[in-house]
Amino acid sequence: MIVKRNQIIIGAVLLLIVGMAFLINYYLNNNKNIVPISGGIEIYNVDGGQIIESPLLIKGAVTGGKWISFEGQAGRVELVDSDGTILGVAPLMATSDFMKFPITFEANLVFNAPKENQVSIVFYNENPSGLPENTVAMSFLVKTSIERSKIKLYFGKEGEDSCTKLFPIEREIVKTEGIARATIEELLKGLTAEEKEAGYYTSINNGVKINSLTIVDGTAKIDFDETLEKAIGGSCRVSAIRQQIVQTLMQFSSIKKVIISIDGRTEDILQP
Give the pLDDT of residue 10: 58
> What pLDDT does 29 receive?
39
For residue 192, give the DSSP letter: -
Instruction: Return the pLDDT at 18.
Output: 44
What are 163-182's pLDDT values in tens digits?
889 999 999 888 888 999 99
How many angstroms separate the CA atoms of 226 and 263, rounded? 7
pLDDT of amino acid 28: 36
Give the model confidence (pLDDT) of 119-142 as tens digits.
Answer: 999 999 999 999 999 999 999 999
Percent of the chain scoring above 90 in pLDDT: 70
Helix spans in the chain (H) = 2-30, 179-188, 193-197, 235-249
Please classify residue 5 by burial: count the beta carbons closer than 10 Å to its beta carbon, then call 0-12 exposed, 13-18 middle and 19+ buried.
exposed
Pick from 36, 35, 58, 41: which is nearest to 137 by CA? 41
Q: What is the pLDDT, as a whole number, of residue 1?
A: 55
Residue 88 in contact with residue 54, Cβ under 8 Å? yes
Query: Quick one: how far is CA 264 from the chain centroid?
Result: 33
Q: Which long-range contacts (CB under 8 A, 24 or more apart) does 231-238 make?
A: 231/205, 232/203, 232/205, 232/270, 232/272, 233/272, 234/272, 235/163, 235/272, 236/163, 237/163, 237/203, 237/272, 238/270, 238/271, 238/272
> Which helix (H) or strand (E) element contains residue 169?
strand 167-174
Tell me: pLDDT of 231 over 60.
yes
